[in-house]
């Protein structure tokens, strides 16, 4: 587009120069015509010689004017072509901008979809961890009740992880399963509901 604008500027300058030359030639032709009119009143011999000279000069000026007119026409054609190139460049630039805007919108939609998917995955992971933790709490509560029953313990009696270990399915390291989300379990005394440090990990 910049090249097209430069060509258009040059064409306009050349056209203006040609028009100035054409106007100058027209002024000379008018002056020659004036001189011819004046010679009509002069002597016959001088008039014929001067007329011949003026005719030759007129022919030269006519040829020059014709050439200048042709140059002006060529410059007009060049300007039209430059205008077309400039319009084409602007149209291409507009199409490129539209394409970039479309890509930006598509990228925004893709980011929104990815964020939504990530949010859904996070919600699913949190729900899965919460359910697994509540299941552990149920196992701990059942183990506490079994231990209290077999050992004739009443509500309020303290109880430790070692006490309920034989009544619960331990992990690979032989420990009571931990909260998948990193929470800390509180076993509590007999008759108390075991809890997790994460607020929404609670037995119903």
The pLDDT tens digits for 28-82 are 888 888 877 776 666 556 667 777 888 888 888 888 888 888 888 888 888 888 8
- CA atoms within a 13 Å half-sphere pointing along the CA-CB vector of 103: 6
pLDDT at 159 over 80: yes
Sign of CA dihedral 163, 169, 175, 181: negative
In whole angstroms, what is the distance from residue 196 CA to residue 183 CA? 6
Q: What pLDDT, on the 0 to 100 scale, is given for residue 7? A: 64
Task: Give the model confidence (pLDDT) of 105-128 as tens digits.
Answer: 999 999 999 999 999 999 999 999
**Model pTM?**
0.50
Mean of the per-residue pLDDT values of the chain = 86
What gap in Å lies between CA 25 and CA 52, rounded to an integer? 19
Tokens 């910049």 correspond to what residue? Answer: 2
What is the average pLDDT across 141-169?
Answer: 93
pLDDT of residue 8: 64
Phi, psi of 85 (to 5 degrees): -60, -40
Percentage of residues in the chain having pLDDT higher than 70: 91
Query: Highest-confidence range of 13-17, 49-53, 74-78, 141-145, by mean pLDDT?
Result: 141-145
């Amino acid at each position: 587009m910049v090249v097209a604008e430069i060509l258009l500027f040059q064409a306009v300058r050349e056209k203006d120069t040609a028009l100035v030359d054409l106007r100058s030639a027209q002024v000379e032709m008018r002056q020659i015509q004036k001189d011819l009119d004046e010679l009509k009143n002069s002597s016959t011999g001088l008039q014929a010689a001067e007329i011949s000279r003026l005719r030759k000069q007129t022919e030269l000026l006519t040829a020059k004017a014709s050439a200048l007119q042709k140059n002006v026409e060529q410059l007009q054609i060049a300007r039209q072509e430059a205008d077309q190139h400039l319009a084409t460049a602007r149209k291409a630039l507009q199409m490129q901008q539209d394409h970039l805007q479309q890509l930006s919108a598509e990228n925004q939609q893709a980011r929104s979809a990815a964020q939504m998917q990530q949010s859904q995955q996070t919600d699913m992971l949190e729900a899965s961890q919460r359910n697994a933790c509540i299941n552990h709490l149920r196992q701990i509560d059942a183990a506490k009740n079994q231990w209290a029953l077999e050992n004739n313990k009443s509500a309020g009696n303290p109880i430790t992880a070692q006490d309920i270990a034989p009544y619960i399915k331990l992990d690979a390291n032989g420990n009571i399963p931990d909260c998948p989300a990193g929470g800390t379990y509180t076993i509590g005394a007999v008759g108390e509901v075991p809890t997790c440090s994460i607020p929404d990990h609670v037995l119903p």
